[in-house]
Amino acid sequence: MASVETLTPASVEPYYSRGLRERYRADALQNLSFTEQSTKYADITYEVDHAKYLARSASRLTSEQLTQELPAGFPEKLDGPLVWSTKDLESKEHEYVYMMTSEDKAEVLQALEHFNKQGLNGDEVNRDNFPLGKLAETLRSVAEKIYDGHGFMIIRGLDPDTFSHEDYTVVYLGITSHIAERRGKQDQRGSMLMHVMKRDYVEEPNRDDPFHTDTVCDVLCLVTRSCSAYGGKSVLASAWTVYNELAATRPDLIQVLAKPDWPFDTYGRSPPYYKRALLYFQDGRMILNYSRRLLVGHPPREKRTEGIPGLTEAQAEALDALHFVACKHEVRPRMEVGDIRLVNNMGVLHRREAFVDDPKATRHLIRVWLHNEELCWKLPTPLRLAWARVFEDHERGESWDIEPPRKDGKLLRVAGSCD
């Protein structure tokens, strides 16, 4: 089989900038290979198929000698506030929603006025030039719940329609800078704000998204500009709870998830794919990080790159198991206009339920990737490289689209599951 270096034209855009390749020795990834067309991989798509999952699981349980051991150093069970299920949080909104008071809103307006008087660009907002008094103390507590508590919080109470688009951008960036100050580039273009919405108006509801994490950030921020006519909630599940169930019932799948042989598609860049594990146990914490789209593609807009490896039967079962176990323990928080949803992207899975837009009600979220250098969990080497590409790559430019880019009235870019 030919190597990636041989088959990739020199003009292909590099996935890692020169500085990152030198710093993390990322060129070692060039030892990857394309696969022969006759190579047989698992039949798995972006949309989950429960019947296919059950059949694959039954086949492997009866035909293979599956290990009953966990990977070396992995715990039999995780404990702590991040281990939760539906019954623990579903009806306890007060546990994960912070409702802003009138005093909080007054502090936000004062901070916005202070920032605007300095003549700075909106992308320059930080916790120093967007000063908050008592609210800053509250936000530190919110950050602790995200990083060291149950793993997600919603800040509620602001009305986007009371601000200009420019001021509202400064406001949510200013508030979230007190949670995690660094913002990441979410694609090769350097998009700092991604607009999560349908590309075109469709009358029929789209499908539920499968569970995943974004790749990569330690805090996923979703700001709700507007809601759909029906559906569209962001559904959450604890990766630690999922781990506990799989560790107790299918330790062989934990072994599969922890092996560094999962092929992530870079969609036309060089190298055309890279390999790493999905699951890590580092410094006493379990980290799960993966995008189903990068592992199996998301046709028709994002077909998997031809010639790169697919998933094995074991990997396909493990990937589906993450989704279906997460569904058993999921929480479906209400969504309101103005919500600032903050999710620990290392320990909490998320998905989007199907929704219907109409001309008067269109689902529109703004996604920001955040990093708190002090509170971020200790990352294993493969994830340090992934985080560096998002938060430390100064060779790529930045694009700040405070409104969805359009041409001839049509949306040019919308966010995928993760980029």
Q: What is the pLDDT of residue 412?
A: 57
What 8-state DSSP symbol labels residue 21? H
Percent of the chain with pLDDT strictly greater than 90: 81
d(CA 250, CA 85): 19
**R_g (Cα) of the chain, nearest Å:** 21
Kindly tell me if the per-residue pLDDT of 163 is higher than 90.
yes
Tell me: the pLDDT tens digits for 60-105? Answer: 999 999 999 999 999 999 999 999 999 999 889 999 999 999 999 9
β-bridge partners, 270: 14
302 compared with 322, residue with greater pLDDT = 322
412 compared with 372, residue with greater pLDDT = 372
User: For residue 99, which of 148, 144, 59, 138 has the smallest C-alpha distance?
Assistant: 138
d(CA 291, CA 210): 10
Tell me phi and psi for residue 308, to 5 degrees. Answer: -90, 160
Percent of the chain with pLDDT strictly greater than 70: 90
Query: Among 34-48, 93-107, 127-141, 164-178, whose mean pLDDT is lowest?
Result: 34-48
Would you place residue 2 in the very low, low, confident or very high pLDDT band (cuts 50, 70, 90)? very low
Q: What is the pLDDT of residue 43?
A: 96
Q: What is the pLDDT of residue 363?
A: 94
Tell me: the pLDDT tens digits for 266-317? Answer: 999 999 999 999 999 999 999 999 999 999 999 888 999 999 999 999 999 9
Residue with tokens 């103390």: 137
Would you place residue 413 in the very low, low, confident or very high pLDDT band (cuts 50, 70, 90)? low
Q: What is the pLDDT of residue 206?
A: 72
d(CA 99, CA 302): 39
Helix intervals (H) in 288-380: 292-296, 313-328
SS3 of residue 63 by DSSP: helix
In DSSP notation, 253-267 reads HHHHHHSS-EEEE-S
Query: Among 106-115, 298-307, 308-317, 332-341, whose mean pLDDT is lowest?
Result: 298-307
Domain 36-404+412-419 architecture: 4-Layer Sandwich (3.60)
Would you place residue 199 in the very low, low, confident or very high pLDDT band (cuts 50, 70, 90)? low
What 8-state DSSP symbol labels residue 94? G
Tell me phi and psi for residue 247, to 5 degrees. Answer: -65, -35
Q: What is the pLDDT of residue 24?
A: 86
Kindly tell me if the per-residue pLDDT of 4 is higher than 50.
no
What 8-state DSSP symbol labels residue 72? T
Residue 163's contacts (CB-CB under 8 Å, 6 or more residues apart) are 171
SS3 of residue 111 by DSSP: helix
Tell me: the pLDDT tens digits for 243-255? Answer: 999 999 999 999 9
Helix (H) or strand (E) holding 83: none
Q: Do 317 and 253 meet the contact criterion of CB atoms below 8 Å apart? A: yes
Vertex 150 angle, CA 193 and 389, to 5° = 35
Would you place residue 29 in the very low, low, confident or very high pLDDT band (cuts 50, 70, 90)? low
Would you place residue 224 in the very low, low, confident or very high pLDDT band (cuts 50, 70, 90)? very high
Residue 270's region, left for phi above 0, alpha for psi from -120 to 50, else beta, is: beta
